[in-house]
Amino acid sequence: MKRLFSSVALAALAVQPLAAQDVEAEEQAEVAVEVEADAIENSGEEAPLPSAHGYEPKDELEKGLWYEMDEAEKRLKESRFLIEDPALNDYVRSVLCKTVGDQRCAATRLYLIRTPQFNASMAPNGVMLVYSGLLLRMRDEAQLAAVLGHEFTHFEKQHSLRIFRQIRTKTDILSWLSVLPVRLPYPAGMAAQMAVLGSVYDFNRDMEREADAGSIDELMRAGYDPRAASAIWSQLGAEMDATAEERGHRSDKNRNGGLFATHPRSTDRMGRLAQLAREAAGEDAENRYTGAQEYRAAIGPWWSALIDDQIALKDFGGTEYLLATLAGDDPLGWTGDLLYARGELYRARAEEGDFAQAADFYRQAIATGEYPAESWRGLGLSLLRDGHKVEGQTALRSYLELRPDAPDAALLASMAGEVAS
Q: Which residues would be at the binding site for another protein (CB under 8 A)? A: 1, 3-4, 78-81, 114-117, 119, 184-192, 195, 198-199, 201, 247-249, 252, 257-259, 261-262, 308-309, 312-314, 348, 350, 381, 384-385, 407-408, 410-412, 414-415, 420
Q: How far is CA 398 from the centre of its chain?
A: 37
What is the rounded CA–CA span in Å between residue 348 and residue 82? 27
The residue among 82 and 280 lying less far from another protein, judged by its C-beta, is: 82
Give whichever of 78 and 370 is closer to another protein, judged by the CB atom. Answer: 78
Half-sphere exposure of 369 (CA within 13 A, CB side): 1
- Cα–Cα distance between 113 and 185 in angstroms, integer? 18
Nearest distance from C-beta of residue 355 to another protein, angstroms: 10
Rg (CA), the chain: 24
- Largest Cα separation within the chain, whole Å, is 80
**CB of 176 vs another protein, minimal distance in Å:** 16
Ramachandran class of 251: left when φ > 0, alpha when ψ lies in -120 to 50, beta otherwise? beta
CB of 384 to another protein, least distance (A): 6
170 DSSP 8-state letter: S
Residue 122 or 191 having the CB closest to another protein: 191
Nearer to another protein, 188 or 332 (CB): 188
Residue number with CB closer to another protein (57 or 187) = 187
Q: What minimum distance in Å lies between the beta carbon of 44 and another protein?
A: 33
Q: How many CB atoms lie within 10 A of CB 284?
A: 11
Pick 369 or 407: Cβ nearer another protein? 407
CB of 393 to another protein, least distance (A): 12
DSSP code for 260: G
Q: How far is the CB of 187 from another protein (least distance, A)?
A: 4
Distance between CA 314 and CA 348 in Å, rounded? 8
Residue 301, classified by CB atoms within 10 Å of its CB into exposed (0-12), middle (13-18) or buried (19+), is: exposed
